[in-house]
Structures are given as structure tokens and as C-alpha cells.
Amino acid sequence: MSPARRKAFRLGELDVAPGRSGTGELPIARLVTGTVISLPVQVFHGRKDGHTVWLSAAVHGDEINGVEIIRRVTSGLDARTMSGTVIAVPIVNVHGFLNGDRYLPDRRDLNRSFPGSPTGSLAARIANLFMSEIVSRCDVGIDLHTGSDHRTNLPQIRADLDDPETRKLAEAFGPPLMLHAKIRDGSLRGAATEQGSTVLLYEGGEALRFDGEALSIGVAGIRRVLAALDMVDDDDDDPRPVPVESRRSYWVRARRSGIALIDCELGEVVRRGQLLGVIHDSVGRRLSQVNATQSGVIIGRVQQPLVNQGDALIHIAEVGADDLPMLGQYVSTTTSATPSSQDHQ
């Protein structure tokens, strides 16, 4: 098809000509006060044919890192020189975003409500809207998340690494680590994969915070994926990072309730049994140690020191010994700051 004959892209009330971009809104529902709540969307419709990719963030309303990642990515897009189409949906869970809350007002998790339904709960209706208006138009999607519940995550891609196309895009993204992750029932990634889309889930940083490293890795990664799909020029002169791959991950959980002093960092390589922190009671008695249950790389950790027995404290990804040097700047083998394993009562 010649560039001149490429059709305009219609999304809701938006009608975006080839080589142009546009912003609009997809109405969801009214607030109790009567204010209309809608999904903000931005479309970049390239002059030339190509892939159609969605970028989504804040499916969990308090995970705002991705909102800024999308802003930075779209500020660098030019529909006049692009191929294909990018649909940016920076805030999917608008209700949660307004409230600084992961969930919807009825406490439903939007990312367990896909593919949704037009007559179900509010979460189901938003999921259904997203599936019918966005996912159905796209062959690739990148969904941006952060750690939840006062936890922070090492920048990482979670995806079905056994699918060749997904793996190719995950490698193009070039995060420090990519984790093979099974589909979760009700997730956007699961429902969109079911419909035939190739989906990457990016995790980095923590809720309600901007994390500089997670932002820059996310922006560069999306840009590289768009370049790998031949939608934008590859203007990244830096050597492409080679991600470390992990097939399994483990949570270290609190053995006792108390005040946790966690002394390990994201990206740190740890050995099974290594002391990663201690839990005290309110008058300073040591209740328990926090030890690595497996060897691997720390890809997530709790930030909030008040923990209940069973709380997930530290997330460790199993990686091959050969892969460890590739974690580069994230690897810290310095353990001198860690409390000595002899130091217990």
C-alpha cells in the first residue's frame, strides 16, 4: 500500500490521519459525583504501515512509574517518520490512580479481571473496554508495573520466554533481567496473549514513586522494542544490554512478625543461607534472621520495615552462574555490610 493511501486510525472519537498524532478519551463511567471518568489515550499513527503497539501503565492505580515512562517515550515519537501505530494508555485504572490505590473502589484487582465483560463489575467493564478498544487493534503490547505493597523491584521483563516472538522482543528491550513468567489468570497479559498479541510486562521500582533507574531502563527498552519492530529508527548508539535470564524465582518470607532490618540490595547476588537481615521485636530483642532460601539475584525487596509473619520480604531469581557477570552494574557481591551470620543469639 502506498503511504498516501494508508487509512486514518479511529479510536473512540479520535480520527488520526497517517503521519499525525492525537489525544482523546474513552469514557468508562461516572464518579459518584457525576463527573465522567475516561481512559486517556494518545495515538501516533505513522505514515507507513507497520505493527500496532499499545503501551499501558497504572493497571494498578498506584504504579505510577510507567506513566512517566510512557510520557518520555511518546515525547520522542514522531508520527511523520514512524511506521505502524502506537497507542499509549498511561493510566488504565483511573479510579485507583486518583486515589493512589492499587485497586478499584470495590477492592477488585483490575489485573485479575481480564478479559472482563460489558455487564460485570467496574473492573470487568474497564478490562472489557481495554480489550475491545485497544488490545483488539494491536499485535504487540507492553504493560508497565512496579513492585506492590511497599516493595521495590529490579527493572525486569516478565514474559513467556518460550514463545520465540516474545523472547525476541524481551531481548530487544534489554532489561538487566528477564524472568520467564507463566500467565496469571485474569491478567491483561494473559487475556491479550489469548487474543494473539505478543506481550511484555515490565516491572521496575515501587508504587507511588519515580525511580530514576527504572524510568531510564523502561524508556530505553521500549524504544529498542519499537526499533526492533522497525517502527522507529534505532538511534541508540550504546551497546544493547544482554539480559540475564531466569526461569524461577523465590520469596523469602518473614518467619516472625516484627521490625525487619533488611540489608541487601536489588541486583545483589546471594548464596543460599546467606544472612539478608534480621527481625526484632518492639523492645529490640532479635526474633529471627532473614536468610536466602536459594542462591540467586535479588529482584525485589520490601521497603517497609514493619512485617507480619509470612510477609514476602525478598524476591530472589535463580540464575545460571555463567550469567552473573552480565548483571553488570547491578551485581554487588559486597556483603560486608550484611550482619555477620555468627551474630545471632
Residue 188 CB, shortest distance to Zn ion, in Å, is 10
Give residues 63-82 in contact with Zn ion (rule: CB under 5 A). Answer: 63
Could you say whether residue 180 binds Zn ion (CB under 5 A)? no
Residue 102 CB, shortest distance to Zn ion, in Å, is 7
Nearer CB in complex with Zn ion: 63/268: 63
How many residues of this chain bind Zn ion (CB under 5 A)? 3
Could you say whether residue 51 binds Zn ion (CB under 5 A)? no
Could you say whether residue 158 binds Zn ion (CB under 5 A)? no
Residue nearest Zn ion by beta-carbon distance: 145
Burial class (CB in 10 A: 0-12, 13-18, 19+), 340: exposed
Residue 175: which of 156, 162, 161, 191 has the closest Cα? 156
Nearer CB in complex with Zn ion: 63/139: 63
Could you say whether residue 60 binds Zn ion (CB under 5 A)? yes
Rounded to 5 degrees, φ, ψ at 69 are -60, -45
Could you say whether residue 108 binds Zn ion (CB under 5 A)? no
Could you say whether residue 151 binds Zn ion (CB under 5 A)? no
CB 314 within 8 A of CB 264: yes
Contacts of 41 (CB under 8 A, 6+ apart): 11, 12, 14, 23, 24, 25, 26, 87, 88, 89, 134
Residue 60 CB, shortest distance to Zn ion, in Å, is 4
CB 190 within 8 A of CB 183: yes
Residue 63 CB, shortest distance to Zn ion, in Å, is 5
Is the CA virtual torsion 76, 80, 81, 82 positive or negative?
positive
**Grid coordinates given for 48:** 507507513
Could you say whether residue 315 binds Zn ion (CB under 5 A)? no
Could you say whether residue 145 binds Zn ion (CB under 5 A)? yes
CB 312 within 8 A of CB 147: no
Which of these segments, 69-77, 139-147, 182-190, 194-202, binds Zn ion (CB under 5 A)?
A: 139-147
Which residues lie near Zn ion (CB under 5 A)? 60, 63, 145
